[in-house]
Amino acid sequence: GEDVEQSLFLSVREGDSSVINCTYTDSSSTYLYWYKQEPGAGLQLLTYIFSNMDMKQDQRLTVLLNKKDKHLSLRIADTQTGDSAIYFCAESISGGSYIPTFGRGTSLIVHP
Amino acid sequence: AAGVIQSPRHLIKEKRETATLKCYPIPRHDTVYWYQQGPGQDPQFLISFYEKMQSDKGSIPDRFSAQQFSDYHSELNMSSLELGDSALYFCASSSPLRARNTGELFFGEGSRLTVL
């Protein structure tokens, strides 16, 4: 949505690292998420980060958060063809129902 | 592990008709969310229910209504369908405790509605 913005496409070679970027507008965001959507499937939560964190690493995934610039990124190391999907950035705010607001998604294409 | 079940997976309707989508949350999840995702668009939050009561309302049109039943399944009713209603409708479920800790929603595979 307009509160969360992402580039629409990213193409990488298998084995390279992928970096998907996202900017958000709500400074009161408490949780920031990365969801993955494979063709014909629902959204699956990949990882999330609290707003009081700068970085979170989970196996091949690294999330970086720059609160000052309201910028979130997802780095996928050693990208594989199975990582080809749409990646959605989302934010939610505490004190309510934690309803995520999604970006339009970045379509990651991994080629041999 | 059981996931969120949505039915039907595909639905074709004509303008001005009515459609009903169903969602069965993960067992012991008491919160259900509905999202609408148009072609190439971000998922837009429509409405959510907690313990059978509406808890939050998003951009749900007045032509749409929804409810959550005693077994926690939910139905989204759409009337006077318009071409612009063609979209993928996702249902997600969560438990309040999990939502408070991680904000994680568990999504179904979606119901694709095509309005002709």
Task: Convert the pLDDT of each residue in A5-39 to its tens digit.
Answer: 998 899 999 999 999 999 998 777 778 999 999 98
* Mean pLDDT in residue range B7-31: 95
pLDDT digits (tens, 9 = 90+) for B22-74: 999 999 898 999 999 998 888 999 999 989 999 899 999 999 999 999 999 99
End-to-end CA distance of chain A: 32
Choose the closest CB to A100 out of B50, B55, B103. Answer: B103
pLDDT computed for residue A97 by the predictor: 64
Instruction: Using DSSP, state whether B114 is helix, strand or coil.
Output: strand
pLDDT computed for residue A41 by the predictor: 83
End-to-end CA distance of chain B: 36
* Mean pLDDT in residue range B87-112: 85
B73 within 8 A of B93, measured Cβ to Cβ: no
Give which of A110, A92, A88, A112 is closest to A101, Cα–Cα. Answer: A92
Nearest residue on chain A to B46, alpha-carbon basis: A99
Residues of A in contact with B55 (CB under 8 A): 97
pLDDT digits (tens, 9 = 90+) for B70-94: 999 999 999 999 999 999 999 999 9
Nearest residue on chain B to A38, alpha-carbon basis: B109
pLDDT computed for residue A2 by the predictor: 57
pLDDT computed for residue B99 by the predictor: 62
A12 within 8 A of A61, measured Cβ to Cβ: no
Cβ neighbours of A28 (radius 10 Å): 9
Using the CB atoms, write b or e for A64-94: b if 16+ within 10 Å: bbeeeebebbbbbeebeeebbbbbbbbbbbe
Tell me: pLDDT of B1 over 70: no
Per the listing, tokens 């339009």 go with: A104
